[in-house]
Structure 1
Amino acid sequence: MNLDFSPVWADWRSLLNGALVTVEVTAMALLLGCFIGLLVGLGRLNRDRRLVYGLCTVYVTFIRGTPLLVQLFIWFFGLPQFGLLLPAMVCGVLGLGLYAGAYVSEIVRGAISSIHHGQHEAAIALGLSPWQSMRKVILPQALVRMIPPLGNEFIALIKNSALVSLLTIHDLMHEGQKIISVSYRSLEVYLVVALIYLALTSATAAVLAAYEKKLQRT
């Protein structure tokens, strides 16, 4: 079998635009996921606040226990049943962001729990409030421990973003499927798409590795 990449090269601008959309969707979902993950992770650290802990636990349990594709379909196809019609991009970002947030929350909770409690007690003894202790003492130390698992989650998020093509978002996968529909060169297109995803995940891993080294030196 002869490989023919000419249809891919002829429509490389579409793949480039799709890759940019993938980066855009992933970046917005990443920011949302980190914000939610931080709040939920902190909420699951204190069991004395039962309502907050319970709500955060239900959220994490549901999101981690159901497929991402089903969650995206609920946003895109389910909400219109209640008269709420959101743009495909919004559904994709919300779905990916909430999905990532559940996993980021466990990373945050685990990293903070790994910091010796004496650090918190020492900060309180120095006159810091509980919030100041968390922000100035605990979180900076926990952040260094979060980077490796967060890197894995960020890379997984880039790969999972391919699912938003099913919501009619013109991301990298969607543009690749458009090329296949007219050229019928599925293997060639998927190989190029895979290489682009590999480039995106490799760049992300390199940036996070450099940032981790910088944090360790400070």
Structure 2
Amino acid sequence: MIDFLATYADYWADWSPRLLAAALVTAQLSLCGFALAAVLGSLLTVAQRGTNPWLRRAAGTYVQFIRAVPLLALLLAIYFVLPQAGLTLPGFWAGVIGLGLQGSAYVAEILRGGLGSVHKGQREAGLTVGMTPWQIFVSVSAPQAMRVMLPPLLNAYVSLLKDSSLCALIATDELMLTARAISSESFLPLHIFLLVGVFYFVIAFPLSMLSRWLEVRLARGRRVMGAADSKVAIRPARQMTERAGS
């Protein structure tokens, strides 16, 4: 065991700069991918909750299709098939697009479920007091839905962060590809991949704990509001509307 750990002391000066640089690429890759997933997922949610049946059907089909396609197949299609159509992307951006497309389906389901958890009576009560649909969304629906959506959104990001390791197969210089390169140079695969596992743990575990803390914190004192309680929820927004009208 001492000899095993001593190997890290011998190679740390060579490994650490490369792994830290690769960890930064992994963080950038996952953040950009999740940002794209958030934008696309929001658009899908709007389409699914809209009044146009064609958009609802198209958005629902997209979500079900993307969730059924393995991320690796999606990444390989983007990286190798798009050049046949004249569009060649670097590995990093192909990874961002693949992660964003895959993540958008899950983000859309989280947003749809969160907004659906808000009682419909609150929207009806808001319309009754003269609020616009946008005012109801901003002042009533969105704040309550965020309490439901934040923990699963954070979990979705953690999952996307770990899935970013698949981008090593499309020549993205992230953590896993760098680990494979170092392993082939040093012939110490157990040491290097164990160390990379520690890197992923250090990044992902605090986010998982934050998600669990948020879930407990936001659920504290939360209660399902019926139509009778909805007037209390929209009172500040109604007062704002009355002041604007006066």
TM-score > 0.5, shorter chain as reference: yes
* Aligned counterpart, 1:199: 202
Q: 1:96-145 CA deviation, whole Å, 9 max, x = no partner?
A: 01111100100111111111001111222232222222232111111110
Q: Confirm whether residue 163 of structure 1 aligns to residue 166 of structure 2.
A: yes
Equivalent position amino acid for 2:138 in 1: R
1:37–1:101 contact (8 Å) kept in structure 2: yes
* Aligned counterpart, 1:13: 17
1:121 alignment partner, one of 83, 99, 124:
124
SS at match of 1:11: helix
Structure 1 residue ranges without an equivalent (≥5) = none
Distance 1:214 1:152 in 2: 15
Q: Confirm whether residue 107 of structure 1 aligns to residue 114 of structure 2.
A: no
Cα RMSD for the two superposed structures: 2.2
Q: 1:37-96 CA deviation, whole Å, 9 max, x = no partner?
A: 1221232124x4111112211211111011000001111001011111122211111110
Instruction: Report the CA distance between 1:8 and its aligned residue.
Output: 4.9
1:28 alignment partner, one of 32, 35, 46:
32
TM-score w.r.t. the length of structure 1 is 0.91
Distance 1:126 1:9 in 2: 67
2:48–2:59 contact (8 Å) kept in structure 1: yes
State the structure with bigger RCO (CA 8 A, min sep 6), 1 or 2: 1
Q: Confirm whether residue 92 of structure 1 aligns to residue 95 of structure 2.
A: yes
Equivalent position amino acid for 1:129 in 2: T
2:79 alignment partner, one of 76, 79, 82:
76
Residue-pair matches, total: 217
SS at match of 1:98: helix
Distance 1:8 1:96 in 2: 31
1:7–1:183 contact (8 Å) kept in structure 2: no
Instruction: Report the CA distance between 1:9 and its aligned residue.
Output: 4.8
Instruction: Report the CA distance between 1:148 and its aligned residue.
Output: 2.1
TM-score w.r.t. the length of structure 2 is 0.81
1:144–1:216 contact (8 Å) kept in structure 2: no
* Aligned counterpart, 2:244: none
Distance 2:13 2:220 in 1: 43
